[in-house]
Amino acid sequence: MISFLLFNHGGLVHAESLYQIRHKDQITQDWEIHADYPLFDHLENKELQEKVNMKIVLKLKNTLRSVQREASEVMGFPILYYEESSVFKNKEFYSVVMTTNISKGDQYQSRVTSINFSDEPGGDIHALKDYVYMDRLNKEVKAQMAQDQDTFNLQNFKEVREDTAFYVNEEKLVLVFNKYEVAAGVHGTPEVEVSLEKVKKEEKTDKTYAPLPPIV
C-alpha cells in the first residue's frame, strides 16, 4: 500500500498542501512499472524544492533504466517494478522514503532509499553521515538489534551503510533497511529506532562573535 499521508510531530498534516502525487504505469512484454511518487510544489525554499524534485525523478529514471537493461539481457519471466513512497515531517525536517520492489519469477527484492531535507532558509538535503555520528549510530543499532535477535541477524550485520534510508519521528531516528539486509525476508524492510539525542551531530552555526575586550 502506498502511503502519502504526511506524518508530523503534532499529528497528521494534509499532504495535498505540500506536494502532488504523480503516477507512472507502463507495461511491455518484458517488464512493467507501477510508481506513485510525490513532487513538492509548496515548500518554503523554492531552490531546495527543485533539488528535491529532481532527485526523486532521477531516482525513478535510474531504477527504470536498470530494469529495462536487465530485462533485455535475461529472457524469461517479465520483471515487475513498483515504487512505494512515504513522506514524513518532523518540524522543518522532511523525509521522502522510497521503497523499490522488484520481482522476477520467484525472486523478490525490496530496496529502500530516502531523501532528507530541511525546508528553511539555507536548508539543504542531508546525508545520513552528515546528520549523525556514524560510530555512535552503529553502537546504538547493534544494541537495539541485540535486544531482538528473533528478528535481526547480528552475524550478518557489520555496520550501517552511509546511504541507509532514514526518517525522524519526534526524538527518534528511524533507520529503514533493505529486505534481507539485516533480517529474514519475512520481516520485509525492517526498521530500527535509536535516540536522536545520542547520535545527532551538533548543528553548525554561522554566528561570529567579537572578541571580549581585555580586562584592565
Task: Give the DSSP per-residue string, 35-89.
Answer: EEEEEE---S-HHHHHHHHHHHHHHHHHHHHHHHHHHHHS-SSPEEEEEEEEEEE
Q: What is the pTM of this model?
A: 0.86
Domain borders along the chain are 1-126, 128-202
Q: Give the model confidence (pLDDT) of 1-31 as tens digits.
A: 445 455 554 444 444 578 999 999 999 999 9
For the cut 50, the answer to whether the pLDDT of residue 52 exceeds it is yes
pLDDT tens-place string over residues 180-196: 999 999 999 999 999 99
CATH classification (class only), 128-202: alpha beta
Class of domain 1-126: alpha beta
For 41-50, 149-158, 176-185, 197-206, which range has the lowest pLDDT when averaged over its residues?
197-206
Mean pLDDT lowest among 31-45, 53-67, 132-146, 199-213: 199-213
